[in-house]
């Protein structure tokens, strides 16, 4: 009998990837089986299940309707902000999706066309994604907290035929009109979509633009249900934009076949979830966690997935998560540590937890940012279930390191997301691409090929894909995280090696924010760094050097830059503080010493950089930081 300990499953996945993933692929419905499990004829572009034909929506819905789950709940929509709960069985969701696929097809959407989905956390967002998959169209979901400008950049890159949106979203008790943002984005974009389909919400219906906008309900009424369209396993399922080192986001592509195989496999092997159980990822469909674990993986596996339109606190209180778990009998939950920090702050003794029946609840998974041991232990103590930190990225689509509970539960070491999962050959290398000694810090990289369901390329940017991820460490995928591996093979993820910061589990580019600040007419030079924050992990902080002769009030200028970031990038950037300084600390070659500034801001010890141009500047920086509440203890 095959051994099911982590070590042997992991070893087999690397020694015989084709056998390993070929077996996993037997659990998937194929119209035509693959010619080759792993096509490596065009390295470094690897293709999984080349020649195979599948449909993602069929595997998510129709297969279960046909195999006895027609009346099982597929999706539970729980929205404290609208006081609504609605359940869709697999049959009902399949029918909604087939109808919406028909509505999209009626607007000329077919295989390969792009559709942008800019929606709040409503069932329509899931329906729109699955309807695209049904047609073989490529969806690109844009998170609602981004501003019009960010949406416009994505429209220009993806060139969608249709945009699906809603009239508004709801943030705790504030209605956010989406339609004006959509209109502004379309105005800004060079590539206009032919049509928009707008879901009208009663809290703030939108005015529709005649000739361009269609009402969701009317489009659904007029639609003829559409069947699943077979696509190649290697055809794109979606594009998900994520922050890069500049303001220009990267369009991560996910394919169809490898994605179904890998995600279905993870449900049982990583999350230890059986079909029929209720699984809840408290994230947003705009992020990768939402794509993989609100929508696709739980449905591939025949689970009931929860779509939660609310927050961990404030909707209405710090007991919101426990209410959802008890009301919908959730077995396994997945969220970001920041959500738990928010709950812990409001309910340090876990009083709300005691008020709910959590008897169905078995496991909590955390990801999206480093899990600080305090928060993790608080959750373990108050919930009495295993709390599993796991590490992954938008690019990888599923976890790189995790405690694979469906294979073998390994001992937890706080501060580590455990060991690499099957398929992920994680190494730590130095700047010369040589593996470092056990315990030494270096760049965390993954030996190619990456497993299925990960990262074939960037949308229309093969060169940028190579340049950003594969060129620096030949033979490896660069995660852009730094860390080390200990003597037991446990991985520790310490920090990013680029200028990405992580704010409340949301990934943001400080370079992108600097581009916005630099556009202020009074700003000559600027820098943005991520400073530590108890709740959100990190927060962005801006430094502004003004042009000679500018004598306006500094506070006003700083506030204007704050407004600009909100306007250009969006509220999700959480850019609230900027300070004016006379000059920025730099090396003699002119590189801004952002790392040193961050250490001063966080009150950490720092070494005087040997190459610093003028050490006195660091004192000026410390004074400015104290003025905005940072650099305590320096």
Q: Should residue 476 be labelled a site residue for ligand AMP when binding is judged by CB under 6 A? A: no
The smaller minimum CB distance to ligand AMP, of residues 182 and 376, is found at 376
Q: Should residue 312 be labelled a site residue for ligand COA when binding is judged by CB under 6 A? A: yes
Element (H, E) at 527: strand 523-533
What residue 581 binds from ligand COA, ligand AMP, none (CB within 5 to 8 A, per partner kind)? none
Q: Should residue 493 be labelled a site residue for ligand AMP when binding is judged by CB under 6 A? A: yes
Query: Interacting stretch for ligand AMP, rule CB under 6 A, among 297-305, 366-374, 404-412, 517-525?
Result: 366-374
**Closest-CA residue to 314 (of 175, 120, 177, 173):** 173
Q: Should residue 176 be labelled a site residue for ligand COA when binding is judged by CB under 6 A? A: yes
**Closest-CA residue to 295 (of 484, 287, 352, 166):** 287
What residue 502 binds from ligand AMP, ligand COA, none (CB within 5 to 8 A, per partner kind)? ligand AMP
Shortest distance in whole angstroms from residue 554 CB to ligand COA: 22
Q: Classify burial at 534, counting beta carbons within 10 Å of its beta carbon; exposed 0-12, middle 13-18, buried 19 or more.
A: exposed
Binding letters toward ligand COA, positions 179-208, x by CB under 6 A:
------------------------------
Distance CA 391, CA 288 (A): 13
Token digits for 579? 């300070």
Binder of ligand COA out of 73, 251, 298, 505 (CB under 6 A):
505
CB 498 within 8 A of CB 546: no
**Closest-CA residue to 193 (of 156, 138, 168):** 156
The smaller minimum CB distance to ligand AMP, of residues 371 and 596, is found at 371
Distance CA 102, CA 94 (A): 12
Binding letters toward ligand AMP, positions 204-243, x by CB under 6 A:
--------------------------------------x-
Q: Name residue 254's beta-bridge partners.
A: 238
Query: Interacting stretch for ligand AMP, rule CB under 6 A, among 35-43, 324-332, 351-359, 392-400?
Result: 392-400
- Helical axes 6-15 vs 17-24, angle rounded to 10°: 110
Token digits for 442? 């270096």
DSSP single-letter state for residue 590: -
The smaller minimum CB distance to ligand AMP, of residues 300 and 492, is found at 492
Token digits for 605? 């010890």
Q: Name residue 39's beta-bridge partners.
A: 47
What residue 504 binds from ligand COA, ligand AMP, none (CB within 5 to 8 A, per partner kind)? ligand COA
Residue-level length of the chain: 634
Q: Should residue 150 be labelled a site residue for ligand AMP when binding is judged by CB under 6 A? A: no
The smaller minimum CB distance to ligand AMP, of residues 54 and 288, is found at 288
Q: DSSP characters for 476-522?
A: EEEEEEEEEE-TTS-EEEEEESSSEEEETTEEEEHHHHHHHHHTSTT
Shortest distance in whole angstroms from residue 361 CB to ligand COA: 18
Q: Should residue 572 be labelled a site residue for ligand COA when binding is judged by CB under 6 A? A: yes
Token digits for 533? 């924050």
C-alpha angle 92-105-237 in degrees, rounded to nearest 5: 75
CB 306 within 8 A of CB 290: no
The smaller minimum CB distance to ligand AMP, of residues 73 and 286, is found at 286
What residue 336 binds from ligand AMP, ligand COA, none (CB within 5 to 8 A, per partner kind)? ligand COA
Q: Should residue 372 be labelled a site residue for ligand AMP when binding is judged by CB under 6 A? A: no
Binder of ligand COA out of 165, 335, 416, 634 (CB under 6 A):
335
Binding letters toward ligand AMP, positions 597-626, x by CB under 6 A:
------------------------------
284: number of Cβ within 10 Å: 23
Pick out residues in 349-388 that bind ligand COA (CB under 6 A). Answer: 368
**Alpha-carbon separation of residue 44 from 49, 467, 469, 479 (angstroms):** 16, 12, 11, 16
CB 247 within 8 A of CB 256: no
Token digits for 543? 């430094």
Binder of ligand AMP out of 254, 311, 507, 520 (CB under 6 A):
507
Q: Should residue 259 be labelled a site residue for ligand COA when binding is judged by CB under 6 A? A: no
Binder of ligand COA out of 103, 151, 164, 342 (CB under 6 A):
342
Q: Should residue 264 be labelled a site residue for ligand AMP when binding is judged by CB under 6 A? A: no
Token digits for 92? 């009902």
Q: Should residue 389 be labelled a site residue for ligand AMP when binding is judged by CB under 6 A? A: yes
Distance CA 558, CA 537 (A): 23
**Closest-CA residue to 292 (of 237, 354, 356, 374):** 237
Q: Should residue 336 be labelled a site residue for ligand COA when binding is judged by CB under 6 A? A: yes
Binder of ligand COA out of 78, 113, 213, 284 (CB under 6 A):
284
Binder of ligand COA out of 79, 167, 283, 303 (CB under 6 A):
283
What residue 389 binds from ligand AMP, ligand COA, none (CB within 5 to 8 A, per partner kind)? ligand AMP
Binder of ligand AMP out of 277, 369, 499, 514 (CB under 6 A):
369
Q: DSSP characters for 277-319?
A: SEEEE-S-TTSHHIIIIIIIHHHHTT-EEEEE-S-SSSSS-TT
Query: Interacting stretch for ligand COA, rule CB under 6 A, among 29-37, 278-286, 298-306, 540-548?
Result: 278-286
Distance CA 278, CA 274 (A): 9
Site for ligand COA, rule CB under 6 A: 120, 144-145, 169, 171, 176, 282-284, 287, 289, 311-313, 335-336, 338-339, 342, 368, 504-506, 571-572, 574
Site for ligand AMP, rule CB under 6 A: 242, 288, 367-371, 389-394, 417, 479, 481, 493, 496, 502, 507
């Amino acid at each position: 009998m095959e051994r099911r300990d982590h070590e042997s499953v992991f070893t087999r996945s690397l020694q015989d990837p084709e056998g390993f993933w070929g077996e996993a692929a037997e659990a998937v419905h194929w119209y035509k089986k693959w010619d080759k499990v792993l096509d490596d004829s065009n390295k470094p572009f690897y293709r999984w299940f080349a020649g195979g034909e599948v449909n993602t929506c069929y595997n998510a819905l129709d297969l279960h309707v046909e195999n006895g789950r027609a009346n099982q709940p597929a999706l539970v929509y729980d929205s404290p902000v609208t006081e609504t709960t609605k359940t869709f069985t697999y049959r009902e969701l399949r029918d909604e999706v087939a109808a919406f696929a028909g509505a999209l097809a009626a607007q000329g959407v077919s295989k390969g066309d792009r559709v942008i989905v800019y929606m709040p956390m409503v069932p329509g967002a899931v329906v729109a994604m699955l309807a695209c998959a049904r047609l073989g169209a490529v969806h690109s979901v844009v998170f609602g907290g981004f501003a019009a400008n960010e949406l416009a950049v994505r429209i220009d890159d993806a060139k969608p035929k249709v945009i699906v949106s809603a009239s508004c979203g709801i943030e705790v008790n504030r209605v956010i009109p989406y339609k004006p943002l959509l209109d502004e984005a379309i105005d800004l974009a060079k590539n206009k979509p032919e049509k928009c389909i707008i879901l009208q919400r009663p809290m703030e219906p939108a005015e529709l633009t005649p000739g361009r906008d269609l009402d969701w309900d009317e489009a659904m009424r007029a639609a003829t249900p559409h069947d699943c369209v077979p696509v190649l396993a290697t055809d794109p399922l979606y594009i998900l934009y994520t922050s890069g080192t500049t303001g220009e986001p990267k369009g991560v592509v996910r394919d169809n076949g490898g994605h179904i195989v890998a995600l279905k496999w993870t449900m049982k092997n990583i999350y230890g979830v059986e079909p029929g159980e209720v699984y809840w990822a408290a994230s947003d469909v705009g992020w990768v966690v939402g794509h993989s674990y609100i929508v696709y993986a739980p449905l591939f596996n025949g689970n009931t997935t929860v779509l939660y339109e609310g927050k961990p606190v404030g909707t209405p209180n710090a007991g919101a998560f426990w209410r959802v778990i008890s009301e919908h009998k959730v077995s396994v939950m997945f969220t970001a540590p920041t959500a738990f920090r928010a709950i812990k702050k409001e309910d340090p003794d876990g009083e709300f937890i005691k008020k709910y029946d959590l008897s169905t609840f078995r496991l909590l998974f955390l990801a999206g940012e480093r899990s600080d041991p305090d928060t993790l232990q608080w959750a373990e103590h108050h919930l009495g279930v295993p709390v599993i930190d796991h590490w992954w990225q938008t690019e990888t689509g599923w976890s790189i390191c995790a405690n694979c509970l469906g294979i073998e539960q390994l001992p937890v070491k706080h501060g580590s997301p455990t060991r690499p999962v099957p398929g992920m050959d994680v190494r730590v290398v130095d700047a010369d691409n040589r593996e470092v000694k056990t315990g030494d810090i270096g760049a965390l990289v993954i030996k190619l090929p990456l497993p299925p369901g990960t990262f074939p390329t960037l949308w229309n940017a093969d060169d940028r894909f190579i340049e950003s991820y594969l060129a620096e460490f030949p033979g490896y995928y660069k995660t852009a995280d730094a860390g080390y591996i200990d003597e037991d093979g446990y991985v520790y993820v310490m920090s990013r090696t680029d200028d990405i910061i992580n704010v409340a589990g949301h990934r943001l580019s400080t370079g992108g924010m600097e581009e916005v600040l630099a556009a202020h007419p009074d700003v000559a030079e600027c820098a943005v760094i991520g400073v530590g924050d108890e709740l959100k992990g990190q927060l962005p902080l801006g430094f502004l050097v003004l042009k000679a002769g500018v004598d306006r009030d500094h506070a006003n200028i700083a506030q204007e830059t704050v407004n600009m970031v909100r306007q250009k990038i969006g509220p999700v950037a959480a850019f609230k503080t900027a300070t004016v300084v006379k000059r920025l600390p730099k090396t003699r070659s002119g590189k801004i010493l952002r790392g040193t500034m961050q250490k001063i801001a966080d009150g950490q010890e720092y070494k005087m950089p040997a190459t610093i141009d003028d050490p006195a500047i660091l004192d000026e920086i410390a004074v400015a930081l104290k003025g905005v509440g940072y650099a305590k203890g320096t």
